[in-house]
Amino acid sequence: MSASKVTPWEVQGNIDYEKIIKEFGVSKIDQKLLERLEKHAKKKNKPLHHLLRRNIFFAHRDLKFILDEYEKGNKFFLYTGRAPSGHTHIGHLVPWMLTKWLQEVFDVELWFQFPDEEKFLFKEDLTLEDTEKFTQENMLDVIALGFDPKKTFFLVDTKHADLMYKEALKVSKKITFSTAKSAFGFTNDQNLGAIFYTAMQAVPSFLPCVIHKKKIPCLIPHAIDQDPHFRVSRDVIPKIGHHKPASIQCRFLPGLAGMQSDGKMSSSLDHTTIYTTDDPKTIKKKINKYAFSGGQSTVEEHRKKGGNPQVDTSYIWLTFFEEDDKKLEKIYQDYKSGKLLSGEIKAILIEKLTSLLQEHQKKREKARRNIDTFIFKKT
């Protein structure tokens, strides 16, 4: 296993999720929690989400507290986000898919942050004009997923700073540079904005309480690399009068070249990334050319020995995007037995993603006229 590194700005190597659970101090999502979630889903005639069934959302902090409160009649709100620096890729969709399911099952508000300063501060060449452009583009993808426009509120850090900066100050006063240094690996060469940024990321986890003038629990679905932010802010937020935000955390969707070489999918590795705006030809070309295969070198050998779905990117991606358990199970068995060839499993993935993204792109275009509806406005 190669050495791995997980910070909000870097995910490298083959991730050992058991190790992360220990290191980060998060808890596994156990059977009991899954059953409680399933019980609530049933009331809305929904199955447990496949990202939960398949342990892709694998860890949490205080999810029990969220469900306890909910069952006492005290609804939570959801908070997730996207730091704009490029086009949305399908890895970004993963936490949002579960977020949408949670909004539907629990009928709760979603506060969606677009921290348009984050990548500007951490990437030398990125300008605020770049991040502004991508904020608009990324919003389309979020809207296309079908969040409830009456219960979904977009926050853009630079635009909503008149609400957010004041709250970030309260958080920032309680975090020293030493703490940020150890949580994020900062050095003295870090710029001042980057040092302050984590305080801004903390704000949406309690801003709705300030706006609604009410203590409301917060649940944050996010990829595990964002945990250091909340690890720091969870210590601080109760000191300024709000609930510790709870969270539910997912694994990374690997890049096409597989976890060993790519870590999580990244926009900086263009060819092994599928964007939500990719056309069918591009999807086909990228998958056929770059998807790491768990198959054998020849058809004969593959028929005899079978493939290894556990390292095959096409199979791994299907676990994220093919909702039907039976279909997936059949693909797994057929690939493992050698009945399904590498080219064939790629074709299944290509078909799945093409239809998913063509549908998404239609909704994405329609979303252009609805952006303003979703942006939070003070009344």
Q: Using CB under 8 A as the criterion, which residues of the chain lie in contact with a copy of itself when the complex forms?
A: 117, 120-121, 128, 157-162, 164-166, 168-170, 172-178, 180-181, 186-196, 198-199
Q: How far is the CB of 247 from a copy of itself (least distance, A)?
A: 21
Q: Which is nearer to a copy of itself, 128 or 299 (CB)?
A: 128
Q: Are 283 and 89 in contact (CB under 8 A)?
A: no
Q: Please tell me the distance from the alpha carbon of residue 174 to that of residue 171, in angstroms, as a whole number.
A: 6
Q: Which is nearer to a copy of itself, 70 or 186 (CB)?
A: 186
Q: How far is the CB of 199 from a copy of itself (least distance, A)?
A: 6
Q: How far is the CB of 140 from a copy of itself (least distance, A)?
A: 22
Q: Which is nearer to a copy of itself, 118 or 334 (CB)?
A: 118
Note the Cα 254 to chain centre separation in Å: 12
Q: How far is the CB of 161 from a copy of itself (least distance, A)?
A: 4
Q: For residue 312, which phi and psi values (nearest 5 degrees)?
A: -85, 115
For helices 192-202 and 161-172, give the axis angle rounded to 10 degrees.
100
Q: Which is nearer to a copy of itself, 133 or 151 (CB)?
A: 133
Closest CA to 164 of 131, 196, 135: 196
Q: Please tell me the distance from the alpha carbon of residue 148 to that of residue 104, in angstroms, as a whole number.
A: 8
- Record the tokens describing residue 256, joined without a space: 């096409």
Q: Please tell me the distance from the alpha carbon of residue 78 to that of residue 221, in angstroms, as a whole number.
A: 8
Question: 155 pairs with which residues across the strands?
Answer: 113
Q: How far is the CB of 239 from a copy of itself (least distance, A)?
A: 13
- Record the tokens describing residue 353, joined without a space: 């993603």
Q: For residue 148, which phi and psi values (nearest 5 degrees)?
A: -70, 115
Q: Which is nearer to a copy of itself, 157 or 225 (CB)?
A: 157
Q: Which is nearer to a copy of itself, 65 or 186 (CB)?
A: 186
Q: Which is nearer to a copy of itself, 189 or 372 (CB)?
A: 189
Q: Are strands 5-7 and 110-114 parallel, antiparallel or unpaired?
A: unpaired
Q: How far is the CB of 139 from a copy of itself (least distance, A)?
A: 18
Q: Please tell me the distance from the alpha carbon of residue 346 to that of residue 267, in angstroms, as a whole number.
A: 21
Write the Ramachandran bin of 185: left for phi over 0, alpha for psi from -120 to 50, otherwise beta: left
Q: Which is nearer to a copy of itself, 70 or 165 (CB)?
A: 165
Q: How far is the CB of 40 from a copy of itself (least distance, A)?
A: 38
Contacts of 75 (CB under 8 A, 6+ apart): 69, 106, 107, 108, 216
The number of residues in the chain equals: 379
Q: How far is the CB of 308 from a copy of itself (least distance, A)?
A: 45
